[in-house]
Amino acid sequence: MDRVGEAGAVVIGGGITGCSVAYHLAKAGLRDVHLVEKGELTSGSTCHAAGLVTQFNPSPTMMRFRRYSIELYRALGVFETVGSLRFASSKEQLMELQRTASRARGIGLDVELVSGAEAARLMPAISTVSLYGAVWVPGDGHLDPHTATHALARAARTLGAHVMTGMRVTGIELSDRGAIRAVITDRGAIETEVVVVAGGIWAPQIAAMAGAQVVSTPVDHQHAALRAVPGHELPHDMPCFRDPDNLVYGKAEAEGVILGGYEADPVARWIDGVPWDHAGMSLPPDQARFEPLLRGAARRFPFLGEAGIVKLVCHPDAMTPDANPLLGPVPGVRGLYLAAGLSLNGFGGAGGIGRAVAEWITGGEAELDLHPYRCWRFGPVHRDHRYAAELAREAYRYYYLLRYPYDSDEWGRPRRTSAVHTRMQDLGAVFGAKHGWERVDYYEPGRPWRRAGADQRRFGWTRPPYFDVLAEEHAAFRERAGIIDMSSFGKIEVTGKGALALLERAAGNLIDRPAGSVVYTQLLEKDGGIAADVTITRLGEEHFRVVTGAGYVNTDMGWLRLQVRDGDPPVELRESTKDFSVIGMWGPRARQILERVTEDDVSDEGFPFMHARPIRIGGATALAQRVTYVGELGWELYLEPAWAGQVWDRLMQAGRASGIRPGGYRALDSLRMEKGYRYYGTDLTLLDNPLEAGLGFCVHFEKPDFNGRQALLAARERGLERRLRTLEVGGEDYQPIYGGEAVYRDGRVVSRLRSCGYGFTARRNLAYAYLPMDLKPGGTVEVEVFGRMVPAVVTTDAVVRREHVAS
C-alpha cells in the first residue's frame, strides 16, 4: 500500500459539512488537515440544495448553529440577505408560530409575528386567502450552494488545509487497541489519528469501515424551478418563504421561483447502501409526487398554476430517525468523529456543526448543548435499516406538517413490547413509543387498547380529552397505589476492577457505598455540566447497574465509554435493558400490597429508602429498589421477563382491595413535577449544573476528584446566578404550555420554560424555569403563551410535600 501522506486529521467528504469541518479545524490551528473527496467538491446532496437558510428553529442549539452559519456565509461574501416569511395558512399553524415565536424569544432570537396584511406588504405576490399571519425574520436569506461550498474550501486551503478531490476512501485502519491509524484511499494510505466522517448519504458505509454505526437513511427530496409568469415576475430580492400547511418553501430565481417541499409519503432509497459511483447527478424526478406540492404553492401564489416547470430536481439527503444530525466522537473507536446525518439541515447547520466538531477534536469546550446531536444516541434497535428508514421517513413527513407535542410516532411500530404488553392491552392501554418501545401513555378502561398516533390533531392546542383519566391515575399513585410498567428503562451493567473508579470519576455523588445501595446522581462533564441523570445500584464489589431513561441508554453508555482513560483498570459496559422487566408500584398503600405477595421484610427499617434487595414473589426473585420518581412510598421491581406477567398479576390481585390502578407515563409527569423531580434533556442539560438545578445534595464535594469538581467549587464560591425554580402558571384552569415558552420579568425575557405539566393534586399548571437568584418563592413573572402574557408565581421546588418517601 502506497503512503500518500500524513495528516493531523482526515475529513471524508467534500460537501458543505466536510468543507466546514476542514475550515474550522484549520482555523483552530490543526496542521495538515486533509479533506478527501471521491468526486469533485459538492458531489453529494450539497449540489442539489435550493440554498435557503433560516435561523428560525425551536432547538436552541440548532438556532445558534444557524445563526453562526449565516454569519460565516456573510463573512465569506456568499450570503444574500433578503429576509424570510413563514406563513400560517391555518389557525392551528398560527398558534404553532406564536408558540415557536415565544420559544425563539426564550432563547434570545427576536422574531416578529406579522399579520397577513403585513406579510402581503412584504411579499405582494402572495394571496391572502387563508393567511392568518406570518413570522418575519429579516436576517434570513439564501446562497448558491456551489459558490458557498467552494468559498469555504478556499478559506480552508488558505489556512493550510489540503483539499484532495478524485480520491475515494476505501478503508479505515485501526490499531490493535481500536484507535484510528490510517485512512486507506484508492491512491494509497494517509496516516492519521483523527478522522471525521462527513460523507452525507454514504456516511453509514464509511463509518462501517471502522466498525462504527451511523443511523441515517437516504430520503428523497424534490424541488422545481418554475418559469416566470408574465405579469407576475418575482423580484430577485423577494424574501424566502415557507408555508408549512401547504408543505412548500421557495425563493425567487430568474423572475420565477425555486419551489421545494416535503411530501407526505416520502421515499427512502438505497436503504442497504448507496452506490459508490453515484456522484452529483440528479435522480429521475417523480412529478406525480410533486403535484400536491405544486397545488399547495398555487394556493399561496395562485399565478403559479400557470407556471411551467423548467427543471425538477430529485436527490436524497441523509435523514436520521429524529431529523437531528449525528455529531461528535464515536465511542469505542478512538479518533473517529462524525459530522453526518444532516437531515436537510445542511446549509443552516453546517457552519455551526463544523465549528462544534472542530472544538470537540481540538479539546476546546463546546459552548452549546450538543447532547441531542450525539452521534451515539441510537442503539441496537436501530441497526435494522428498514426500521431506521421508517423512522426517517416519518421524521421527514413531519418536517412541515404540524406535529403536536403529545403526538406519537406511528411508523415502524410495534418494535419492542414488554413482557406485560398483553396485560396492559387488556386494561385498555393507549401506547406511545419511545426508543422502539411500546409504552403506555394512559389507560382508557373499558375501551379497546390502541396505539397513539397523531392524536392531538383531534383536540389541537386545547385541554386533552383524557385529562380526567390522567387525574384518576394520578390520584391512585398519590392516595392509594399505582402500578406502572417501566421495562423500557435503560439499564447498563458496569463491571470489573475499574468499575468503581470510572463511576466515581463520572458521577457527582458518592458511589462507593455498601452493596445494595442505590444512588441518585448526575454524570458530569469537566465544566460541571450535566451529561446524564441516573440511578446507580451497587450489586457487588465490582458490579454496578446504571439505570436511565429509555431514550438515553445508548447516549449514557457511549458517554461513559468515552470517560475510560488509557491505563484505567479494566471495566466492561454492557447494556442489559432487555434482560429485565421493571414494574413500578408507588403510593401510600404500596407496602401493604407488597407485604401481601412477599414474605420478605419490606418494612421501613428492614428495607430503607434508596436500597435494593432481592425479594421473593411467588416463584420469582425480583430485585426490589426502594426509590421514587413520583414522590411516594414504593418500589421498582427488576425481574427476568419470564416472571413479569406473574408478578404483575399478583400485585394487581393483592392490590385490588387497596384500590390499585395501572397508570401510564403521562400521569408520571404530573406526579414527578409536583414533587420537584427533574427530567434529563429538558430540566438538566450540558449547559446546566447540579447546583443551579437544585441538586446540590447529589454533589459529594468530599470526594477528592470527579468530573466538574473544580468548576462546581468555583461556581459555589462565585455564587450562583440562576436556579431552577417551580412556577405555578395561571390559575386552576388548564394552560396549554408545552415547554420552551419565554418567561418575562418587568417586560424583559429572563428565561424559558423547561418541563411543564398539570399537577392534579395541587390543581395548578406547573412549570420549571431557571430564574435569576433573586426570584425566590413568592416572586412573580409572566409566561408568553400563544401571544398572551400569563402571570406566574415562583413557588417551592415541591408543591406537594414529599411525605411518603421515607415512611
Ligand X SMILES: Cc1cc2nc3c(=O)[nH]c(=O)nc-3n(C[C@H](O)[C@H](O)[C@H](O)COP(=O)(O)OP(=O)(O)OC[C@H]3O[C@@H](n4cnc5c(N)ncnc54)[C@H](O)[C@@H]3O)c2cc1C
Residues that bind ligand X (CB under 6 A): 12-18, 36-39, 43-46, 48-53, 168-169, 198-202, 206, 221, 223, 260, 313, 315, 317, 342, 344-348
Question: Which residue number, 43 or 100, has a Cβ lying nearer to ligand X?
Answer: 43
Question: Which residue number, 168 or 513, has a Cβ lying nearer to ligand X?
Answer: 168
Question: Which residue number, 53 or 469, has a Cβ lying nearer to ligand X?
Answer: 53
Please report how close the Cβ of residue 20 comes to ligand X at its closest, in angstroms.
Answer: 8
Give the span between the Cα atoms of 211 and 637, in whole angstroms: 36
Question: Which residue number, 20 or 625, has a Cβ lying nearer to ligand X?
Answer: 20
Question: Which residue number, 166 or 731, has a Cβ lying nearer to ligand X?
Answer: 166
Question: Which residue number, 52 or 536, has a Cβ lying nearer to ligand X?
Answer: 52
Please report how close the Cβ of residue 163 comes to ligand X at its closest, in angstroms.
Answer: 12
Please report how close the Cβ of residue 148 comes to ligand X at its closest, in angstroms.
Answer: 10
Give the span between the Cα atoms of 791 and 673, in whole angstroms: 19
Contacts of 428 (CB under 8 A, 6+ apart): 443, 444, 445, 446, 447, 448, 449
Question: Which residue number, 165 or 425, has a Cβ lying nearer to ligand X?
Answer: 165
Please report how close the Cβ of residue 179 comes to ligand X at its closest, in angstroms.
Answer: 21
Give the span between the Cα atoms of 254 and 480, in whole angstroms: 69
Question: Which residue number, 51 or 266, has a Cβ lying nearer to ligand X?
Answer: 51
Question: Which residue number, 111 or 342, has a Cβ lying nearer to ligand X?
Answer: 342
Contacts of 176 (CB under 8 A, 6+ apart): none
Query: Kind and range of the H or E element at 765?
Result: strand 764-772
Question: Which residue number, 12 or 756, has a Cβ lying nearer to ligand X?
Answer: 12
Give the Å distances, CA to CA, from 520 to 377, 517, 533, 628, 667: 22, 10, 8, 10, 22
Question: Which residue number, 146 or 385, has a Cβ lying nearer to ligand X?
Answer: 146
Please report how close the Cβ of residue 490 comes to ligand X at its closest, in angstroms.
Answer: 29
Please report how close the Cβ of residue 71 comes to ligand X at its closest, in angstroms.
Answer: 15
Please report how close the Cβ of residue 12 comes to ligand X at its closest, in angstroms.
Answer: 5
Question: What torsion, rounded to 10 degrees, do the Cα atoms 650, 651, 654, 660 define?
Answer: -150
Give the span between the Cα atoms of 310 and 416, in whole angstroms: 47
Contacts of 431 (CB under 8 A, 6+ apart): 408, 414, 424, 438, 439, 440, 441, 449, 450, 451, 452
Q: What type of residue is 114?
A: V
Whether cis (ω within 30° of 0) applies to the bond prior to 414 is yes
Q: The dihedral of CA 773, 779, 781, 783: what is its sign?
A: positive
Residue among 403, 420, 62 at smallest CA distance from 247: 403
Please report how close the Cβ of residue 559 comes to ligand X at its closest, in angstroms.
Answer: 24
Give the span between the Cα atoms of 299 and 8, in whole angstroms: 53
Give the span between the Cα atoms of 561 and 429, in whole angstroms: 37
Please report how close the Cβ of residue 208 comes to ligand X at its closest, in angstroms.
Answer: 11
Give the Å distances, CA to CA, from 802 to 486, 536, 551: 22, 22, 27
Please report how close the Cβ of residue 206 comes to ligand X at its closest, in angstroms.
Answer: 5
Question: Other C-beta atoms within 10 Å of 427: how many?
Answer: 17
Rg (CA), the chain: 27
Query: Kind and range of the H or E element at 71?
Result: helix 60-75
Contacts of 788 (CB under 8 A, 6+ apart): none
Question: Which residue number, 11 or 429, has a Cβ lying nearer to ligand X?
Answer: 11
Question: Which residue number, 49 or 571, has a Cβ lying nearer to ligand X?
Answer: 49
Residue among 713, 359, 331 at smallest CA distance from 527: 713
Please report how close the Cβ of residue 235 comes to ligand X at its closest, in angstroms.
Answer: 19
Please report how close the Cβ of residue 196 comes to ligand X at its closest, in angstroms.
Answer: 11
Give the span between the Cα atoms of 432 and 269, in whole angstroms: 27
The SS3 of residue 11 is strand
Please report how close the Cβ of residue 634 comes to ligand X at its closest, in angstroms.
Answer: 47
Question: Which residue number, 104 or 183, has a Cβ lying nearer to ligand X?
Answer: 183
Query: Kind and range of the H or E element at 789?
Result: strand 788-795
Please report how close the Cβ of residue 805 comes to ligand X at its closest, in angstroms.
Answer: 48
Please report how close the Cβ of residue 234 comes to ligand X at its closest, in angstroms.
Answer: 17
Give the span between the Cα atoms of 452 and 489, in whole angstroms: 20
Question: Which residue number, 221 or 435, has a Cβ lying nearer to ligand X?
Answer: 221
* C-alpha grid cell, residue 700: 459529594
Residue among 712, 773, 280, 769 at smallest CA distance from 522: 712
| CB-based burial, 650-675: b 16+ in 10 Å, e otherwise | bbbebbeebebbbbbbbbbbbbbbbb
